[in-house]
Amino acid sequence: MNNLSHLQDIPPKAARFCLSVQEFLEGELGLSLRGTHILTAFSGGVDSTTLLLLFKLLSSRLGCTVSAAHLDHALREESAAEAEHAAKICARLGISFFSTRIDVGAFASERGMGLEEAARTVRYAFLEEQRQRCNADYIALGHNLNDLAEDSLMRLSRGTGWPQLAGMQAFNPERALLRPMLMCSREDIEAFATGLDVKWVEDPSNADTRYTRNRMRHELLPLFMRENPGFLNTVATRWRLAQKDATFWDAQLAKLIASAEQDTEGAYTLSAPKLRMQHTAMRLRLFKILLERLGPGQVRADSLFRLEETFQRGEGGKTLQFPGDKRVVLSSRSITFLPKKK
Amino acid sequence: MNNLSHLQDIPPKAARFCLSVQEFLEGELGLSLRGTHILTAFSGGVDSTTLLLLFKLLSSRLGCTVSAAHLDHALREESAAEAEHAAKICARLGISFFSTRIDVGAFASERGMGLEEAARTVRYAFLEEQRQRCNADYIALGHNLNDLAEDSLMRLSRGTGWPQLAGMQAFNPERALLRPMLMCSREDIEAFATGLDVKWVEDPSNADTRYTRNRMRHELLPLFMRENPGFLNTVATRWRLAQKDATFWDAQLAKLIASAEQDTEGAYTLSAPKLRMQHTAMRLRLFKILLERLGPGQVRADSLFRLEETFQRGEGGKTLQFPGDKRVVLSSRSITFLPKKK
């Protein structure tokens, strides 16, 4: 791992890999990173090491500056040594590095949370805190196409609707998250890292099938790959189709939401006759978004269907309850979404 | 299995099961079978035996007449005896019965087809032939919620887009197919049949994991059920959401297709400026439907994306080739979908 500042310094195949990521960011996501500061979540594994190298190699072309943040989850004996390894890599690449140690095991048992969920909660909070501290624009994450496949299988198992079913976002402006390698397979990432003679850390917990994510990786995904060796390509294509559908529905729903009146308590009221002119597919999504906006409490699809049926029957004076103490009041003239009483 | 003509004759739980199927047909699908003749595909297995009983018990409420058709695939020694068993059941229920024997193995090797595909091809051709012969309105199939789950997993593996991803149709007017038990789990169907002391035939090939369908049933589906014991409910809910989306897109696309000019060769021409006002999500689906209408040759999603990019660049005088010798000619003013030259 020497002299990794320019695409000319690396083999053509590795350079093409870098350019495919630039094309994804700028061409497909339509995102310019010029003048931005990217904080990279850097575990020391192959994905985040590759991501860091990519930014190092592309930063002049993308016009951004890069820093790295490492969280020592304190879950394994080697974790302190791994944090040192991560620091050394950043020093050699000339990338500013920040690291901290949080006892995730203790956090999990204090809150009565599963280890997987606790690690995710602590990690994202740390990254966001560090992003604000160093005034970065985005947090870059090393998620790849295999992660996307695993994520979409988890969503399938949980019952997620479309288009969210196709998997995690590549760019989430609200949470300032960016996933530049979402269309790159793990195989291509490992080939890139190996080709540049990069050393990385293997997290042994990746093999632990007590974690949902790992069961997707080691049990479900291989079965789909056996049915269709091009399965990862179908995941990528389906994700791309879902992004188009997401922008379509977002635009349609934005118009409807804009037509809603919001009172000082945060309740939304829409005209029932106007809403009646919309298609059921649109109303079901609108109902879901408005209920989500009212605060915590997840709404299930069958409750949305029940709300839609009540709305279609057009009976006045009905009130339906939703999780999180939210209510929907229907009359023949209007439909009102009310948050939990304060 | 005695005296099965009225819902009053059977236990309340079994009667509720019947009524849930009636509610699905009339309430959810909005389908009236009054005055129709339903040809039931009757293998003698638990699904189709239950379906036949359901129609027997519901026929006066639904207002339809029922007959049964059995295909002896000649793939197993017992198949002739099974055909006889099927005939006996229909005789006892007073349902008119037709059966024929086709050597599916020979058909498969003559055509160089897989046994699974050959059986399906022969079976559907037989059913349609028999439907026309007895002047029936619809062919009723015994597919259930587990079949739907397996089907949607197969579609996931193959890369099907939304809303087709959610699985097979409950009602296909073009092919005159009806699947009344699509929302009933295999567990509920077996409980119904057992409760009425019905004997059914187990097809040993259902255990053969050389067939894709059976690998879904015995390997993939159990893993999803382990992740989420309510997985079948999520399949049903996702299917219901998909049906709403399907009617939404069908209505939108019907308007666009109606605006296309079709010439005597079967080519479709649309105004490019008008099409440009549509969302990408709409255009991708329109392109797919028009290409499918031009004849055989499956179009892949990445080719649709390529067509969309070419359209968006707005370059005149471009021609793109598609499988089945179909072509799309783009100019700045129009886009034309051309079938294979005769």
Q: Strands (DSSP E) along B151-293, which ranges? A: 171-172, 177-178, 261-262, 268-271
For residues B257 and B289, the answer to whether their CB atoms sit within 8 Å is yes
Confirm or reject contact between A199 and chain B (CB < 8 A): no
Q: What is the largest CA-CA distance in chain B?
A: 72
Helix (H) or strand (E) segment spanning residue B71: strand B65-72
Those residues with Cβ within 8 angstroms of residue B46's Cβ, 6 or more apart along the chain or in another chain: B186, B189, B190, B193, B198, B200
Scanning A196-279, the segments in alpha helix (DSSP H) are 212-215, 221-227, 231-258, 272-276
B260-338: CATH architecture:
2-Layer Sandwich (3.30)
Residue A60 has a pLDDT of 93
Give the closest residue to B325 by CA, choosing from B304, B309, B341. Answer: B341
Which tens digits make up the pLDDT trace of B105-125? 999 999 999 888 999 999 999
Task: Give residues 220 to 249 of B whose Cβ lies within 8 Å of A.
Answer: 220, 223-224, 227-228, 230-231, 233-234, 237-238, 240-242, 244-245, 247-248
Alpha helices in A186-230 (DSSP H): 186-195, 212-215, 221-227
Residues 6+ apart with CB under 8 A from B94: none
Asked if B220 and A219 come within 8 Å (Cβ–Cβ), the reply is no
Q: What is the pLDDT along chain A (342 residues), one digit of tens a residue?
A: 556 778 988 999 999 999 999 999 999 999 999 999 999 999 999 999 999 999 999 999 999 999 999 999 888 888 888 899 999 999 999 999 999 999 999 999 999 998 889 999 999 999 999 999 999 999 999 999 999 999 999 999 999 999 999 999 999 999 999 999 999 999 999 999 999 998 898 877 777 888 888 898 999 999 999 999 999 999 999 999 999 999 999 999 999 999 999 999 999 999 999 999 999 999 999 999 999 999 999 899 999 999 999 999 987 789 999 999 999 999 999 999 999 987
Q: How far apart are CA A245 and CA B245, in angstroms?
A: 11
Question: What does the pLDDT read at residue A271?
Answer: 96
The model's pLDDT over B209-263, given as tens digits with 9 standing for 90+, comes to 888 888 989 999 999 999 999 999 999 999 999 999 999 999 999 999 999 999 9
Report d(CA A183, CA B300) in Å as an integer: 18
- C-alpha closest to that of A246 among A317, A175, A166: A166
Q: Domain spanning A7-242 has what CATH number?
A: 3.40.50.620
CA distance B276 to B296: 27
Nearest Cα of chain B lies from the Cα of A239 at a distance, in angstroms, of: 10
| Architecture of the A259-338 domain | 2-Layer Sandwich (3.30)
Sign of the Cα torsion B159, B161, B162, B166 reads negative
Q: Domain map of chain B by residue range?
A: 7-242, 260-338
- pLDDT at position B268 is 97
Residues of A (138-177) whose Cβ lies below 8 Å from B: 154, 156-159, 161-163, 165
Pick the residue of B155, B156, B287 with the most A CBs within 10 A to test the interface with A by mutation: B156
| Among A150, A160, A214, A227, the residue to mutate for chain B (most B Cβ within 10 A) | A227
How many angstroms away from the CA of B160 is the closest CA of chain A? Answer: 8
* Alpha-carbon gap: A253 to the closest alpha carbon of chain B (Å): 14
Q: What percent of chain A has pLDDT over 90?
A: 83
Nearest to B242 by CA among A312, A148, A245: A245
Beta-bridge partner residues of B334: B271
Contact: B228, A162; criterion CB under 8 Å: no
Substitution target in A150, A151, A152, A156 with the highest count of B β-carbons within 10 Å is A156
Interface predicted TM-score (ipTM): 0.92
Rounded CA separation A71/B205 (Å)? 53
Looking at residue A3, its pLDDT comes to 64
Task: Categorize the per-residue pLDDT at B2 as very low, low, confident or very high, splitting at 50, 70 and 90.
Answer: low
pLDDT band at B269 (very low <50, low <70, confident <90, very high): very high
Distance CA A276, CA A286 (A): 12
| % residues pLDDT > 70 (chain B) | 99
Whether residue B219 and residue A224 make contact (CB cut-off 8 A), yes or no, is no
Span A57-82, pLDDT tens digits: 999 999 999 999 999 988 888 888 88
Q: What CA–CA distance (Å, rounded) separates A130 from A137?
A: 11
For residue B1, pLDDT beyond 60:
no
- In this prediction, residue A309 carries a pLDDT of 94
How far apart are the C-alpha atoms of A270 and A121, rounded to whole Å? 36
Tokens of A189: 């990432």
| Residue of B158, B227, B301 with shortest CB distance to A212 | B227
